[in-house]
Structure 1
């Protein structure tokens, strides 16, 4: 096991590729607000630095969404021995990376926890594509519950309005591994890319916005042949889970993960103009609960997903130069894996040392190789310190 050093080196490459009770109600979106929501949703990619610092911890004040409520029984994260890293070095890393939250768990104990710029344990920070790894876990939960028979089922069995489009013959597995063969542009710097435009159009009444957009895309390769990172496909996974379970993603998240695993704070999940969660993005969670997500994966999700789900989800189902991709998890050389989001969000898991490292941040650019390499260097120091 070569640990975080190799792992974050691969992430640098990847970042440049790219219970009981009533279920939480979806926040209604008035018709006059729908057009505004479509415009602002795309604008998130092009906020100024000051807007990022101000808005990333306050998405629920800007956008409609749903809430997954925390339960009464909170999973403890006991205090562990502080990592032997100079405080000045930690502060310098956080300042250079615009990190507002930094957490390191080992054996489920807190070995480092820092906050900046007014963020704190009571707050939430948006995750961007870290949400993808949570959405894929809900697929595992739906299989365990019998709502989905197999990830080898065709997607059109659960989303029949995709029939006759580029997703004919595509399996759930191929959505999870982003190997559908459907053409997609994930360029965060291009306002005309698919990732920026997918909610920009008015949608006919009764049509899901994700399905409306994705069914228009052409196929460029055979299903299973080519890995292309597509946020839109994780949004389709969310549609699939909602339709299979008959529940909102937040309601199912609350039932299957948030309450059973003992999350500490409510989670907020941004919704589209129809009130459905944007499942490829936009889940806002507290720093410690991001750490618990990593801990859940590390422990295998017993009682939440089928036995062996995380072993499969966090191994390379497909490869790219420097690493691989599982079921919406980045799979890295040496056995480490990660949930990663733009602007510096990451949950990094090193099973060999039972280490979880989380950063919530506001990088000046969506993806940045130099910042990823600097995070690599810091993570290597964290790992070395944890072994002392």
Structure 2
């Protein structure tokens, strides 16, 4: 069903600034008004036709979600209501079956995607690779010589696509001294900025050091996507905003321009700064459930890149298993900036902190999108029931059943 449902009250805009916009009490408002907190630049949808989203609206809330490590068996509706949902949508065979908005979120609201942005940047890299402009086996420094004196010397594009560089970078969101918080200070996502620290995205990336050999185990590092974005910009000779519009956003039949938050120099926050609507995010997700072909029928992502993304290999899975992160995804992998949570499933994910998700199941031609405002950046009690809810929905609406 398409509807707007009442939910908790949102804070008034004037009390929110760069030092508190990511606080638990503020994220619901700030994730829907990023352009009022941070500098942003449009990612143009171009002038092409909007890809229509045919609808066969159904109430899927009663579908049962099996028991997980984090919750008893319950309904999809219970999962949605218990996980700070701002909006969610289910699409099967290109038809919308459920579309629902809560509180101030609506069809035209551009919501911050956080690290779902990584999957969009990874897709841009895939388009460049398909055109022969980017070679994943080449060194990062061949494209960005400015990183030659940094820890990225010797790392390949493949290493950063799969987060297997040896860079020292803590992703501990609750530690104000972690590198993931330092990068926010450098790009202006926080007013707090210690004296002598890097200014701007590029400047920050040049300061990173290696702690181990490149090509080892997987470790989640947001800086990998920022380097990947810089590589793409160097190859194209244009900003990510312009590049993503040209090779991706203007080709999926998007309804609205997307936005990307930028640093003080106009450089995009590639790893987590993209904002878009629920429907346009579903249009993007559809690419990966349809061999890279958009709802308008255009081959946007090369089939070879989609195939490589979905396949991976034993080495990638082993690197994921041996990594230090507690992902609770045994047998899974991280590949080409996407998550593959289970070895026995066709499903894979684009994920962002505070509950942003695209769930894609090409075997079922199924896409689920959920935008949220969790109080904590990471919350397994909300993440895994949501994944299993989309699993259950994919099985429920598909024939034959595909795991």
TM normalised by structure 1 equals 0.82
The 3 A distance-change label for structure 1 pair 244 and 208 is farther
Residues 324-359 of structure 1 show CA distances to partners (whole Å, capped at 9, x for unaligned) of: 011100023212111000000000111121111110
Counterpart CA distance in 2 for 1:160 and 1:377 is: 44
| Aligned-residue offset at 1:251 | 1.2
2:202 corresponds to which of 187, 192, 211: 211
Aligned to 2:303, the other structure's residue is in SS state coil
| Aligned-residue offset at 1:43 | 5.2
Aligned to 1:74, the other structure's residue is in SS state coil
**Residue in structure 2 matched with residue 119 of structure 1 by the alignment:** 105
Counterpart CA distance in 2 for 1:327 and 1:221 is: 21
| Aligned-residue offset at 1:44 | 4.6
Counterpart check, 1:295 vs 2:281: no
Counterpart CA distance in 2 for 1:188 and 1:84 is: 34
The farther-off stretch of 333-342 and 372-381 is: 372-381
1:1-388 alignment to 2 at 5 Å?
40=18, 44-45=21-22, 47-49=23-25, 51-70=26-45, 71-80=47-56, 82=58, 84-86=60-62, 91-148=77-134, 150-201=135-186, 209-302=200-293, 303-316=299-312, 318-319=316-317, 320-321=320-321, 322=330, 323-333=332-342, 334-387=345-398
| Aligned-residue offset at 1:224 | 0.8
The 3 A distance-change label for structure 1 pair 200 and 208 is closer
Aligned to 1:112, the other structure's residue is in SS state strand
| Aligned-residue offset at 1:65 | 1.5
TM normalised by structure 2 equals 0.79
| Alignment check: 8 A CA contact 2:130 2:304 kept | no
Q: CA RMSD in A?
A: 2.4
Aligned to 2:292, the other structure's residue is in SS state coil
The farther-off stretch of 129-138 and 75-84 is: 75-84
Residues 197-235 of structure 1 show CA distances to partners (whole Å, capped at 9, x for unaligned) of: 11424799xx98333223323322211112111111111
The 3 A distance-change label for structure 1 pair 133 and 84 is closer
Structure number with higher helix proportion: 1
| Alignment check: 8 A CA contact 1:100 1:361 kept | yes
Aligned to 2:100, the other structure's residue is in SS state strand
Task: Report which structure shows greater RCO (CA 8 Å, sep ≥6).
Answer: 1
| Alignment check: 8 A CA contact 1:67 1:269 kept | yes
User: Deviation above 6 Å: which 4+ runs of structure 1?
Assistant: none
| Aligned-residue offset at 1:122 | 1.2
Residues 10-64 of structure 1 show CA distances to partners (whole Å, capped at 9, x for unaligned) of: xxxxxxxxxxxxxxxxxxxxxxxxxxxxx93x7554x132x11111111112111
The 3 A distance-change label for structure 1 pair 208 and 308 is farther
